[in-house]
Chain A
């Protein structure tokens, strides 16, 4: 659905050249939710603006929804929907009027535009405020309208720039449900986020971006496994050095470290390692006080790749 090679974009500012995007290669498959995770200023919005024809890239190639970005920008525009980070509605008009106008801008007839507006209003549950002025909407209501506006022309590919930033948990859940519903209807959704849990729970695949380049990519599970596999913490009563020695020889343990009176074991796959660990302890006739399996978070991935924690950045 999207292929890019070597996309680059710099901005000239008074303080000098800002290299916002420095060679981005992407492959987004049809029908998936693809996430772009990265801290502030990573270049997520810039990449999205390039892919949606808003910014000409300095260099690089891209095929978006089957059309060449440089040669057929008009075709790209017809095939994609784009919802900007800040949205974009006039204060003094209603959601219904905005939806009708947006459909008309895509060349849809007036009757058909009204029909589509009504469909989207019911699909996104906007009924209760659709005929009120946008000025009066809550953040979540406005965001749902923004997303609906990106869909009036039934695109095959939808770009969502930080669809849930600043929303309360309930509105976020609502947006997640909408995005999943769109995917289930066959649409490809490309979204950006700096929320780890969102990237993890919502995206089928993702790319982690930092300082204008992609530092890691894959499914959330692949990414997390790539780093550390799983982490198993065992507590063994009345044993110290002895336990450490016991596991050092085991082939499936990639790394281990004692933490207090417990031991952290880094393994490739916790599910298969767990029974083997238990057997080792059993054979050594040690009694187990506690055992815990953690999955490494995307934050561990980001930390590993960039040396910084995304959590600190976002805070």
Chain B
């Protein structure tokens, strides 16, 4: 239970820091708002009234990936500031140092996601509560995966200059191969085959099924299982990096 307690301690400190620097919340919310206001209207002629129903789930997944992929930057800043070293000489659980931060990232993401959904409702979006909750669970798992991996990489590289390009190099193909911007049913066969290897494309498909009201669709549990498994592996890897890098 020390792990839970320590995770909570790290999480509360991280939340305090976020709340004292609300600029990040505002930036985090305006980005999806831009997509909602400036990009979604382009889809209307293509998809008619379904435009938001198709686009918002993808946007949520994108938010979960890109909102958390870069969290490693904050860790590098903390390493430089010496706060990590200060934590390391205490008996605090090393895993808690990782999980507390991931938890902060998840909470931050879920707040943004809920805000985005609420904003889209006046535009004609509709979703049942249980389907929304399932989508949020999926988003939380993605956020856990991306933030843990980002922290793990940050710890290995210890340099902002190296982290930025690396994360970009990984995330752009992931984004393009996920069907976030446009459904992959428009893609040629070979592109669809590659996209099938991208766990996030499963997540996007699942989220669209949920927003279409198909709670029982196979892709829903498949996506949860796939992303869940990878998230578990990602956290295990990052936890090892934490245990070794900051033993």
The reply to whether B9 and A90 contact each other, CB–CB distance below 8 Å, is no
> Contact at A80–B89, with CB atoms within 8 Å?
yes
CB-based contact A107/B91 at 8 Å: yes
Q: Which of A52, A56, A77, A88 has the most CB of B within 10 A?
A: A88
Asked if B89 and A90 make an inter-chain contact with CB atoms under 8 angstroms apart, the answer reads no
A157 to chain B, nearest CB (A): 12
Cα distance, A54 to B90, chains bound together (Å)? 10
Bitwise, A73-88 to B at CB < 8 A (1) or not (0) is: 1100110111010111
A104 is an interface residue with CB less than 8 A from chain B? yes
Nearest Cβ distance between residue B159 and chain A, in whole angstroms?
13
Q: Which of A56, A93, A149 sits near B86, CB closer than 8 Å?
A: A149
Q: Which residues of A contact B13 (CB under 8 A)?
A: 90, 93, 101
Residue from A92, A106, A153 with most neighbouring chain B CB atoms (10 Å): A92
CB-defined contacts of A81 to chain B, threshold 8 Å: 89
- Judged by a CB distance under 8 angstroms, whether A105 is at the interface is yes
**Contact among B83, B90, B92 for A90, CB-based, below 8 A:** B83
| Residue B122 CB within 8 A of the other chain | no
Give the bracket for the number of chain B residues in contact with chain A.
Answer: 20 to 34
In this complex, the member of A53, A81, A84 whose beta carbon has the largest number of chain B beta carbons within 10 angstroms is: A84
- Residue B44 interfacial (CB < 8 Å): no
* A92–B17 touching, CB < 8 Å: yes
- In the complex, whether A171 has a CB less than 8 A from a CB of chain B is no
Give the Cβ gap from B14 to chain A, nearest Cβ, in Å.
Answer: 10
- Asked if B81 is an interface residue, CB under 8 A from chain A, the answer is yes
> Which of B16, B81, B89, B92 gathers most chain A CB within 10 Å?
B89
Closest A residue to B9 by beta carbon equals A104
Chain B interface mostly = helix
Other than A93-B13, A105-B91, give 12 A-B pairs with Cβ distance below 8 A. A53-B88, A54-B88, A77-B91, A78-B91, A81-B89, A84-B86, A88-B84, A88-B85, A89-B81, A90-B81, A104-B9, A105-B9
Contacts of B81 in A (CB 8 A): 88-90
Which residue of the partner chain, among B83, B85, B91, contacts A54 with CB atoms under 8 Å? B85
Closest A residue, CB atoms, query B16: A93
Q: Is the CB of A74 within 8 A of B91?
A: yes
A204 in the interface (beta carbon within 8 A): no
Whether the pair B9, A77 counts as a contact (CB closer than 8 A) is: no
The one of A52, A92, A93, A97 in contact with B89, judged by C-beta atoms closer than 8 angstroms, is A52
**Assembled-state Cα–Cα distance A86/B87 (Å):** 14
Interchain nearest-CB distance for A165 vs B (Å): 14
Chain A interface bracket (under 10, 10 to 19, 20 to 34, 35 or more): 20 to 34
Decide yes or no whether B105 CB sits under 8 A from chain A.
no
Residues of B within 8 A of A93 (CB): 13, 16-17, 20
Known: A88-B82, A90-B83, A92-B21. A106 touches B88 (CB 8 A): no
> Is the C-beta of B6 less than 8 angstroms from some C-beta in chain A?
yes
Q: How far is the CA of A86 from the CA of B83 in the complex (A)?
A: 10
Find out whether the CB atom of B89 lies under 8 angstroms from the CB atom of A56. Answer: no
Q: How far is the CB of A29 from chain B (nearest CB, A)?
A: 22
Chain A residues near B2: list those with CB within 8 A. Answer: 107
A102 within 8 A of B: yes
Query: Roughly how many angstroms separate A191 CA and B186 CA in the complex, as a whole number?
Result: 67
Q: Is the CB of A86 within 8 A of B82?
A: yes
User: Given that A90-B17, A101-B13, A105-B9 are contacting pairs, would A54 and B89 also be in contact in the complex, using a CB cutoff of 8 Å?
Assistant: yes
Across the interface, name the chain A residue whose C-beta is closest to B89.
A82
Beta-carbon contact of A102 and B90 below 8 Å: yes
Q: Which of B9, B84, B88 contacts A101 (CB 8 A)?
A: B9
Residues facing A in B49-101 (CB within 8 A) are 81-92
* Cβ distance B89 to chain A, nearest Cβ, rounded Å: 4
Q: Is the CB of B17 within 8 A of A105?
A: no
Give Cα A65–Cα B233 distance, bound, in whole angstroms.
38
Q: How far is the CB of B243 from chain A (nearest CB, A)?
A: 12
CB distance from A309 to the nearest CB of B (A): 31
Inter-chain contacts of B85 with A (CB < 8 A): 54, 84, 88
Within 8 A of A (CB), among B1-37: 2, 6, 9, 13, 16-17, 20-21
Interface CB pairs A-B, < 8 A, 10: A54-B89, A84-B82, A84-B85, A88-B82, A88-B83, A88-B86, A102-B90, A105-B87, A106-B91, A107-B91
A101 to B6, CA, bound (A): 10
A87-B9 contact given A82-B89, A92-B17, CB 8 Å threshold? no
In the bound complex, CA of A149 to CA of B90 (Å): 11
